[in-house]
Amino acid sequence: MCYSAQIKADYHDFVRTWGAVISIKRFVELFWEKRKDGGWSKIPKSMREAFRAPQGEEGFELAKLVAEGDRDLAEKLYKEVAAQQERLAKAEAVLAGPKPTRKAADDQRIASRKVKAAQGNLHELTRTQPADKDSRIYPGMWAPVMIEKDGQRIVVPMRYQCRLPGWNEAIERKYPGTYNARRDKLEETWGKLFGHRHGIVIVTRFYENVARHKAEGRELAPGEKEENVVLEFDPQPPQEMLVACLWNMSPHGDEGMDLFSFAAITDEPPEEIAAAGHDRCIVPIKPEHLDAWLNPDPDNLAAQYAILDDRARPYYANRLAA
């Protein structure tokens, strides 16, 4: 399954290249909600940065929300650093005294780790130089997804983990793997969305957890325990892949806000991914199929399967992820 991907979050590129419009209303709702509920870090840095410079009157509201959301998160992190540094100082004072305790040793270890983590998050928040990881998403994070409505391509922010029709949050927690939709289950598990709600997320590379011995093309040695590594898969030549997705809208599904969520379709892997030890692969569709994919006919699923079969087939080079 595609557990992580690097997405395209340049909204101007969506407009220039694909003729899409940005659903400003949905981005405002998302940014407002995530700022309020503490989920600001679930929005990739690249998605926030894309709106930092206002474009038109509507853009000013988004730029303001981005600045305020980053400021709120920074304040929270500064408080965390201060609190943990105080905890660390108290622990070290006890350890330096005549009666060091196990609790003080635990506090020293935990506070040191938390100070380092909060300072690292502050650095990432305030860093101005862009980095590849700014656009990397994991399940539960948000990404721009292109859909079509009334003949117009629209970019909507959606959560990377689909809440299926009829589900609530409690049901969703029982099935955490719905960030990917298996091709062989599209009519069984995903039948209410396949042929009805299709989307595209633009991906430049993706990442997979694989067993180290499989990635190295060998069997486990006697007594060796299985170890996971993360591989980075890059299409060659480098390109933006139009990855086929299914999406849903759950009314009032996220703290009263309509929840838009999606899953990437996966299929059997090409030879080079199988040889690297993984058994699934995302499905990039060809640009000439974009309109037909975004406007599915539920009475002609064969046409949709044909689009998935006639996919773009780059060669996927791999390496250990940094």
DSSP for 128-189 reads -S--GGGGEE-TT-EEEEEEEETTEEEEEEEEES---TT--HHHHHH-TTTTEEEGGGTTTT
pLDDT at position 1, please?
45
pLDDT at position 36, please?
86
Q: In the chain, how long is the greatest CA-to-CA distance? A: 79
DSSP letter for 288, please. G
User: Look-up: residue for tokens 């009334």?
Assistant: 150
Q: Is 142 domain-assigned?
A: yes
Q: What is the mean pLDDT of each run of 10 residues along the chain (322 residues)?
A: 73 86 91 90 92 79 92 96 97 95 97 97 94 92 95 95 94 94 97 98 93 89 90 95 97 80 97 94 97 97 98 95 82
C-alpha dihedral over 265, 183, 172, 290, to 10 degrees? Answer: 30
Q: Are 194 and 246 in contact (CB under 8 A)?
A: yes
What type of residue sits at position 189? T
Q: Is 47 domain-assigned?
A: no
- Tokens of residue 298, six digits: 């539920």
Q: Is 224 helix (H, G, I), strand (E, B) or coil?
A: coil
pLDDT at position 2, please?
61
- Tokens of residue 300, six digits: 């002609």
CATH number at residue 308: 3.90.1680.10
pLDDT at position 38, please?
86
Q: Are 300 and 317 in contact (CB under 8 A)?
A: no
Q: Is 28 domain-assigned?
A: no
In this prediction the pTM is 0.91
Beta pairing class for 228-236 and 315-320: antiparallel
- In Å, what is the CA distance from 228 to each residue of 64, 212, 300? 42, 6, 41
Q: Is 249 domain-assigned?
A: yes
Q: Is 144 domain-assigned?
A: yes
pLDDT at position 289, please?
97
Domain tally for the chain?
1
Q: Is 295 domain-assigned?
A: yes
Q: Is 252 domain-assigned?
A: yes
Q: Which domain holds residue 229?
A: 4-23+134-320
Q: Alpha-carbon torsion 92, 95, 99, 104, what sign?
A: positive
pLDDT at position 255, please?
66
Q: Is 195 domain-assigned?
A: yes
Integer Cα distance of 299 and 244 in angstroms: 19
Using CB atoms within 10 A of its CB, is residue 189 exposed (0-12), middle (13-18) or buried (19+)?
A: middle
